[in-house]
Structure 1
Amino acid sequence: MALADEVMDVFADGGALSQAADQFRVRDGQTQMALAIAHTVAEGGQLVVEAGTGVGKTFSYLVPALLSGERVLLSTATKALQDQLFGRDVPRLLEALNLPLRTALLKGRGSYLCLHRMAQARHDAGGERGMAHALAKVERWALTTRTGDLAELPGLDERSPVIPLVTSTRDNCLGQQCPQFKACHVNLARREALAADVVVINHHLFFADLAVRESGMAELLPSVRVVIFDEAHQLNETGVQFLGLQLGTGQVLDFARDLLAAGLQQARGLTDWQDVAGKLEHAARELRMVAGKGWPGAKLRWNGAAPEGIGATQWQGGLDTLRRAAEDAAVALDTVSELSPDFVRLAERAGLLVERAGLLTEPCPPDAVRWVDIGTQLRLVQSPLDIADAVRKRVLKADRPAPSPQEQGDESRSRAWIFTSATLGDDPQLRWFTEPCGLDEAQVLRVASPFDYAQQAALYVPRQFPRPADAGHPDAVAALAAKGVLRLGGRTLVLTTTLRALRSIGDGLRDRLRAAGSDVDVLVQGEWPKRVLMERFRAGADAGATGCVLVASASFWEGFDAPGDVLQLVVIDKLPFPPPGDPLVEARTRRLESQGRSGFGDYSIPEAAVALKQGAGRLIRRESDRGVLVVCDTRLVSMGYGRRLLAALPPMRRLAAEADFEQALDDLTQPPG
């Protein structure tokens, strides 16, 4: 039976999918997407699918991929989505389809316990009580875990300072020289991935390997014939993080600390380790001082010999001092390299620092952009403008998958590449996604959401509202959100475009709810781990529980799922245009304008449209959900480009006046009729 026919049977009413999915019903869009993917899997090539919320895209790509009998690589945006695919979705489908396939989960090395570093961590933890307690918890868990995946350790805060002590990085991993190499959890995960039929990874891991060939993907990818990227809208921004060049003063300080510890423990007296480490620390701190104070989080353009506002002589001198300190460290380490594998790895790290410092004293390549991130430490960045060239040359042009014994002699079966997300652009050809990702030859499919947005949701843009740049704008957003929170008893998500607005709106909400005598809990991103915030928010809708409003930015614009009555009001403070002063944004805009195109129309508006769709997508997650979306930015209805942004949003009914908004909120407190 042809793959398309098998897929049709699975998605038919009463088919195998009804056993795997709760409340399954036939959706034309889901079946259409699955059949398109089945065709690409059978024939090879590239397929880009934008699948609106509610289509059921996960099963749309999993069913044809699993039924194909091919080796499959699944990549998604976050480790949490990885865990969901590997732990829930794939096993349910394999059981329903009665397929005896072997699966594996592969993450980056920072997700796994390093047994060697854990053994050293007791010394590094010192006498700090909280750190010692957290380390003891990790040590007890280490005795029972098979995978070493830290996500399995209950109650471990992802921000815990113990995590860097018990995990390895590419810089400090000892590789085959490690005394725990045979028992290494990272190597175990890689071996299982190489033996599996279906491997679940994440985009960060994929591009990290593309950049440095370090994660084991170099062995895995040639044996895979079907590659699927879910949440593909994040591919370009993820990729440029890894395909560029970075040098941080914090990285230098970490190296100096590791060098000093290894030298004093294993080669005391053979070199003046204090002096070598001291020169590195001094060079890093001097370079940080050259950059000045700056606003934390600011980015300095770096178009010439030095970043803006910094003297070229001082800057180049600081980089040269850093390079020489790293060279001296490399020489010192070379004299003791035979004593321990730690010194061999440290010498490699010193060489990398020398190389990067040297490259950053040279002019920036024309197809890249440089800047400096200002914080407690400095981060020097050289980034490509997009991943198109890397994808064309190093991904799509990769060797064909090795043929199975049945396929010997058949050279026509090219690899199948599937890219899918709920938001991939605002034009029919999805150029916002395909152009920067180098997918010039991809077929494009757009599948609309099955939700009845006109009945389920309403959009309100307040006409009388401060302009986004006005000082009173955050307070006005807090006042509007408070009105909704008081009517709904919580059930509200406020999405902000900046961290400054996040804090202002959070404080304003607390003040207003306190003044109104409300016990609704105001949750603000950054005050608790993301996982804790999400769990508390969802619990706020339980009977008898205190309601919640969550004020969040950045990662909460997507990947936050609160279906049902848990979330009924989403408030967006401003249109999410890319920051105009960002060096990468400026460089992309200049490139478009050099091609005779509009930086605003061809870059800024599509970027805002995709982000706006992502934020709005938090509201309606099921056919039974109801809610109101508020965009506190009058430009959406007053500016010409607003029509394009409105067209990118789901077709919600429009609320014209404040009274309509209040009535819509009141309606949400009543049972659906």
Structure 2
Amino acid sequence: MQFSEHIAATFGTHGALAEVNPDFKPRSGQSEMAQAVAETIEQGGALVVEAGTGVGKTYAYLIPALLSGERVLVSTATKALQDQIFFRDLPFLRKALGISLHAALLKGRSSYLCPYRLELAESELDGARPEQIHWLQQVRRWAATTQSGDMSEMPNFQERSPHLPLVTSTRENCLGSQCPSFGQCHVNKARKQALAADLVVINHHLFFADLQVRESGMAELLPSTRAVIIDEAHQFNETGVQFLGVQWGSQPLIDFARDMLRTATALARGMQDWQPLAHAIDTACRDWLRLMPQTLAQPRLNWAGRAPESINEAAWLQALDALGAVLDSALQALQSVQEMAPELARLTERCADMLEKCRLFQGLADAPRVRWLELGSLSMRIFESPLDIAAEMRARWQLAPPEPPSEAAQQQAWLDSHAELVSPANAGTAAPPERQHAWVFTSATLGSDAGLSLFTHACGLEGARILRVPSPFDYPRQAALYVPEDLPDPREAEAHGLAVARLAGAAAQTLGGRTLVLTTTLKALRLIGGTLREQFGGAESGGSNSDGVQVLVQGERSKQQLMEWFRAPPAGVKGYVLVASATFWEGFDVPGDALELVVIDKLPFPPPNDPVVQARARRIEETGGSPFRELFLPEAAVALKQGAGRLIRRESDHGLLVLGDRRLVQKSYGRQLLASLPPMRRLQDRAQFDAALQELAVQRVPRPA
């Protein structure tokens, strides 16, 4: 049986999936995608697949990968998705397909316990807070039993724990093969397993970080892998832009000064006067921070000249000069002792790297790269990055049209086609041609046009094969869209936000919660979240109103915890209203009747004053294009599709989508944005919307309060 026939049979009515899952239903879109992935793995080249929600894209790429016999690399957007593929999907499919295949999970070094840094942290507990001591004791108990060293497997693990850097390493502080605990290094063990595996699951951050620094195992892994599958590919370009650029800031400087004082004092005491050097770096850094504006409308500052906007150019350059001078002094001191210990050699490398970045940012950015400054509550970071990854990655995809064959190749081709006329003595033996690498990119949202140009142009994939597979859901039956035309203009931010909150609150009252409100700005998040809290009488601590509806606001808990609460409310809570922004527009997966209403406050156009967006718009203008048509509108369409995709997650779901922006039906471009949404039925007025709410409320068994 041919490979493509085998794939088709696997997804058929009597295939391997149907045999192990009685509820399995063949989906033409899933089978079509799987066939395309199989062809790409066989023949090489690049395939870009936009697979609508419910297609089953994970199985559609994993099954061809598992049955191909090739070494395959799978990259996805987050560590949580890595775990889902590795611990849930792969074991099921290996059993269903009856194959024994060696798979490996590889994350970035900061995801793994570092035995050396754990010992270091335990040796420096004098003056530590009780909660830090207790946490390190928990880590020590877990360290005695773990095989993988993956911190996410530790009981009661919290991804944002402030203590994690104490027991994990970074590229800056890792000692590599010179580490005293190198034999117990979980990162090194994970890399060895990945190099020996048939299929390796990584994430986009690791993919680009390793391409950039060539030190985390990918430099060896990629060349030995013929097929690469990029899942959640809509995040691929932005992740690449982050890693293919340069970033620096106040926190790395402060961390370096602290590490130098601690390490150099312990290992090279008396060789240099380390205290004044560390103090000088810390002082110069804090003087640099004092240049930052006290109030900003947005956290990012444009940086087109020699200094970011709103900052005095002379003072900025003077601060960078001062930083360069103290870093140069520290570098000379460290170079004199670097051979005494691996820790000192690593500190020397860190200092040289920061001095290089300091000098880079003292000059002007090279076109077409863009710079900006980003302010945190107590820190500042500066960035220089490409506008997209196309130039960097285009050569790697190897999709350029092949050059005309040489005269020797033409002669060999003639000999091959006339083999019966050539004697064995004269024919020779030609080496089999090397097969082209296979690249598969897939996501539920990649663009708004047939060529998915927003994605392919940014990633340098203009020569890729494009496949768009629609969702199998019956959207006209399962969902309805309501665009209220009586809301204030979105430019009247406060009035509009209050009106959206009142609409969402009244609807959530009818449904008993079960509502997700997605905002386009943090200001709207705070306004709508606060208004709903007042309406339902719930405090930030988690109070709910007399009907058992509770309001949650992004940032109060982790995304995973909020999603778990939303899926299964505890006793006393009928349902939730969650107000969220940013990352909740995607990856928030709540199937079933726990979520029946999604409210989007306004059209999600990219912020026009964002430095990267502005630079991309200028590039389009310089080539005679229209930034609104080629950038703002496609970006909004993709984001809108992502937000709307939170509503219907399986065939039995029902729900309503509210778009609180009348421009969708009043502006000419609204038709293009509407076309990007799933084909839901339209509700024409508030009466139809209220009737649809009542229908949802009565067609299920109420959850007890």
Interval of TM-score (by shorter of Structure 1 and Structure 2): over 0.9
Q: Offset of 1:20 from its aligned partner?
A: 4.9
Q: CA deviation at 1:544?
A: 6.5
Unaligned regions of 5+ residues in structure 1, if any? Answer: 399-406
Partner amino acid, structure 2, of 1:104:
A
- Which of 492, 499, 504 is the matching residue for 2:522? 499
Q: CA deviation at 1:546?
A: 3.5
CA distance in 2, matches of 1:49, 1:21: 26
The Cα shift of 1:458 comes to 0.5
Q: Which of these residues, 605, 611, 615, is aligned with residue 583 of structure 1?
A: 611
Higher mean C-alpha displacement, 77-86 vs 491-500: 491-500
Deviates more, 1:514-523 or 1:336-345: 514-523
Distance 1:369 1:124 in 2: 42
| Structure 1 residue matching 2:649: 3-state secondary structure | coil
Structure 1 position 397, deviation (Å):
7.8
Equivalent residue for 2:553?
Answer: 524
Deviation at 1:549, TM superposition (A): 1.5
Match of 2:26 in 1: 26
Q: Using a 3 Å threshold, how does the CA distance of structure 1 residues 272 and 111 change in structure 2: closer, same or farther? A: same
Distance in 2 of aligned mates of 1:274 and 1:284? 16
Structural RMSD (CA): 1.8
Match of 2:121 in 1: 121
Contact kept? 2:53, 2:444, Cα under 8 Å = yes
- 2:621 alignment partner in structure 1: 593
1:624 matched to 2:652? The reply is yes
In the other structure, the counterpart of 2:483 is 461
1:25 counterpart SS class: coil
Contact 2:399 2:463 in 1 (8 A): no
Q: Which residue of 2 aligns with 1:404?
A: none
The secondary structure found in structure 2 opposite 1:13 is coil
Partner of 2:362: 361
Describe the superposition over 1:45-93 as per-residue Cα deviations: whole angstroms up to 9, x where unpaired. 0000001111111111111111110000000011111000000111111
- Distance change in 2, residues 1:324/1:489 (3 Å): same
Residue pairs, 1:101-140, within 5 angstroms? 101-124=101-124, 126-140=127-141
Structure 1 residues 330 and 22 mapped into 2: Cα distance closer, same or farther (>3 Å)? farther
Change (3 A) 1:20 1:575: farther
Match of 2:433 among 387, 391, 411: 411
TM-score with structure 1 setting the length: 0.96
Q: Secondary structure at the match of 1:363?
A: coil
For residues 2-38 of structure 1, the C-alpha deviation after alignment (integer angstroms, 9 at most, x for no partner) is 2101101101102101245572101111111111111
* Contact 2:399/2:461 (<8 A) preserved: no
Percent identity for Structure 1 against Structure 2: 56
Q: 2:591 aligns with which of 545, 558, 563?
A: 563
Match of 2:423 in 1: none
Residue in structure 2 matching 1:509, options 532, 546, 563: 532
Q: 2:568 aligns with which of 539, 561, 567?
A: 539
1:18–1:425 Cα change, 3 Å = same
Counterpart pick for 1:481 among 485, 504, 517? 504
Shift of 1:140: 1.2
- Partner SS, residue 472 of structure 2: coil
C-alpha deviation, 1:439, in angstroms? 0.2
For residues 396 and 133 of structure 1, do their structure 2 counterparts lie closer, same or farther at Cα, with a shift above 3 Å needed?
A: farther
- 1:454 alignment partner, SS class: helix
Contact 1:296 1:374 in 2 (8 A): no
**How many pairs does the alignment contain?**
664
Matched residue SS, 1:8: helix
**Once structures 1 and 2 are overlaid, which stretch shifts more, 195-204 or 87-96?**
87-96
Mind listing any 5+ residue stretches in structure 2 that lack a counterpart?
401-428, 539-544
What's the counterpart of residue 15 of structure 1?
15
Q: Which residue identity is paired with 1:477?
A: V
Cα distance in 2 for residues equivalent to 1:95 and 1:543: 38
Shift of 1:210: 1.4
1:402 equivalent in structure 2: none
SS of aligned partner of 1:322: helix
How many Å apart are 1:311 and its aligned residue?
A: 2.2
1:339 Cα offset (Å): 2.2
Partners in 1 of 2:530 and 2:154 — Cα distance? Answer: 33
After TM superposition, give the deviation of residue 477 of structure 1 in Å. 1.6
- Please tell me whether residue 185 in structure 1 is matched to residue 207 in structure 2: no
1: CA distance, partners of 2:664 / 2:700 = 30
Amino acid at match of 2:618: R
Larger-gyration structure (1/2): 2
Q: Larger deviation: 549-558 or 508-517?
A: 508-517
Q: Cα distance 1:343–1:297, how it changes in 2: closer, same or farther (>3 A)?
A: farther
Question: Residue deviations 1:379-407, cap 9 Å, x none?
Answer: 11001000001111345489xxxxxxxx9
Structure 2 counterpart of 1:431: 453
Shift, 1:292, TM fit: 3.1
2-structure distance, mates of 1:159, 1:183: 25
CA contact (8 A) 1:479 1:509 kept: yes
Note the C-alpha offset of 1:123. Answer: 4.7
* Superposed displacement of residue 672, structure 1: 7.2
Counterpart-to-counterpart distance in 1, 2:383 and 2:678: 37
- CA distances 1:426-468 after superposition (whole Å, capped 9, x unpaired): 0000001100000011000001111110000011111100121
> Tell me, what secondary structure is at the counterpart of 2:46?
strand
**Counterpart secondary structure, 2:331:** helix
State which drifts further: 137-146 or 189-198. 137-146
DSSP 3-state at the match of 1:338: helix
- Check whether the contact 2:46–2:397 (CA below 8 A) recurs between aligned residues: no
Deviation, structure 1 residue 335 = 1.8
Amino acid at match of 1:636: L
SS state at 2:172 partner: coil
Residue 92 of structure 1 pairs with residue 120 of structure 2: no
TM-aligned CA distance change 1:137 to 1:295, over 3 Å:
farther
Instruction: Find the aligned partners of 2:178 and 2:20 in 1 and give their Cα distance.
Output: 46
CA distance in 1, matches of 2:151, 2:170: 15
Pairwise CA distance, 1:138? 1.4
Q: Within 5 Å, give how 1:28-67 maps onto structure 2.
A: 28-67=28-67
In structure 2, distance between residues paired with 1:554 and 1:472? 22
Query: Aligned pair 1:635/2:658, yes or no?
Result: no
Structure 2 Cα separation of the partners of residues 395 and 238 of structure 1 = 17
C-alpha distance in 1 between matches for 2:382 and 2:346: 23
- The amino acid across from 2:567 in the alignment is R
User: What is aligned with 2:343?
Assistant: 342
Q: Give the superposition deviation at 1:597.
A: 0.7
Partner SS for 1:301: strand
Partner of 2:674 in structure 1? Answer: 646
CA distance in 2 between counterparts of 1:135 and 1:549 reads: 37
- Report the 3-state secondary structure (helix = DSSP H, G, I; strand = E; otherwise coil) of the residue aligned with 1:564: coil
Aligned residue in 2 for 1:325: 326
Classify the secondary structure of the residue corresponding to 1:170: coil
Q: Post-superposition shift, 1:671? A: 2.7
Does 1:452 pair with 2:474?
Answer: yes
Match of 1:197 in 2: 198
Deviates more, 1:352-361 or 1:511-520: 511-520
Shift in CA distance, 21/278, structure 1 to aligned 2, threshold 3 Å: farther
**Distance of aligned partners of 1:319 and 1:294 in 2 relative to their CA distance in 1, 3 Å threshold:** farther
Cα distance in 1 between the residues matched to 2:430 and 2:22: 41
Structure 1 residue 294: Cα displacement: 3.7
Please say if 1:552 is aligned against 2:580. yes
Report the Cα offset of residue 307 of structure 1. 1.1
Instruction: Give the drift of 1:326.
Output: 1.1
Residue 42 of structure 1: how far off its partner (Å): 0.8
Q: Cα offset for 1:270? A: 2.0
Asked if 1 retains the 8 angstrom alpha-carbon contact of 2:306 and 2:313, the reply is yes
